[in-house]
A and B are shown apart, each in its own frame.
Chain A
Amino acid sequence: DTAVSQTPKYLVTQMGNDKSIKCEQNLGHDTMYWYKQDSKKFLKIMFSYNNKELIINETVPNRFSPKSPDKAHLNLHINSLELGDSAVYFCASSQEGMAGIQYFGAGTRLSVL
């Protein structure tokens, strides 16, 4: 069983579109995250969310919004996609909040044309 699964694996879309990436974890963890990895492999956290609190990296445009229907899911919605949004997006989860070991999904490669 995949611990952290995200779909789709690849996403190709046009500028201006709205898209979503789904993430599910079956580890029973209390915290989930979204990261963006650019072409130079720089890994930047976008959001951290547990059942109590959403922590947003203030540099993330408000076109990006996380949505958590329940503790095991944290989906990423992106409105009005831009060329600069092209990257690999990783979902992760951990227990013990920020001190926890993070388990990552396989990544979603987003290409905005």
Chain B
Amino acid sequence: AQKVTQAQTEISVVEKEDVTLDCVYETRDTTYYLFWYKQPPSGELVFLIRRNSFDEQNEISGRYSWNFQKSTSSFNFTITASQVVDSAVYFCALSEGIGGSYIPTFGRGTSLIVHP
């Protein structure tokens, strides 16, 4: 069965600090997809990134970067020079592309609080 673990329940930083949100996953499949979503205080869930299991290239988008390592089954998310607007709950999610139950699994989320 697939599983996603976000061990950090809450992280509190001061503006301009760098912060890394951890995500560790478990799956038996060789084909799968990993996602990060952001849920700001307003409540809606917003897609940030998707990676497939065959593409381990790290990705950078502005102040956001993602480090995908199959060897450690991790897909960590780093925010550089954090800002107050980054305050949100961040969810890591896993979806198996072949076999399995085809039901996406979300981690329990990491609440990031950025203080001015």
* Residues of A bordering B, CB below 8 Å: 33, 40-45, 48, 55, 57, 88, 90, 92, 97-99, 101-107
Q: List 6 A-B contacts (CB under 8 A).
A: A41-B109, A98-B33, A99-B52, A99-B95, A102-B47, A106-B44
- Interchain CB contact under 8 A, B108 and A102: no
Q: Which of A41, A99, A101, A105 is the most central at the interface, judged by chain B CB atoms within 10 Å of its CB?
A: A99
Interface hit among B56-64, B78-86, B97-105:
B97-105
- Interchain CB contact under 8 A, A45 and B108: no
- Interchain CB contact under 8 A, A48 and B102: yes
* Contacts A99-B33, A101-B50; A48 near B43 (Cβ below 8 A): no
* Residues of B bordering A, CB below 8 Å: 33, 35, 37, 39, 43-47, 50, 52, 89, 91, 95-97, 101-106, 108-109, 111
- Interchain CB contact under 8 A, B108 and A42: yes
- In the complex, what residues of B have CB within 8 A of residue A101's CB? 35, 47, 50
- Interchain CB contact under 8 A, B89 and A55: no
- In the complex, what residues of B have CB within 8 A of residue A40's CB? 108
Q: Measured between C-beta atoms, what is the minimum distance from A36 to chain B in Å?
A: 11
Listed from nearest, the 9 A-B pairs whose CB atoms lie closest are: A104-B45, A98-B95, A43-B106, A98-B102, A99-B33, A41-B109, A101-B47, A99-B97, A106-B44
Q: Residue of B at shortest CB range from A46?
A: B103
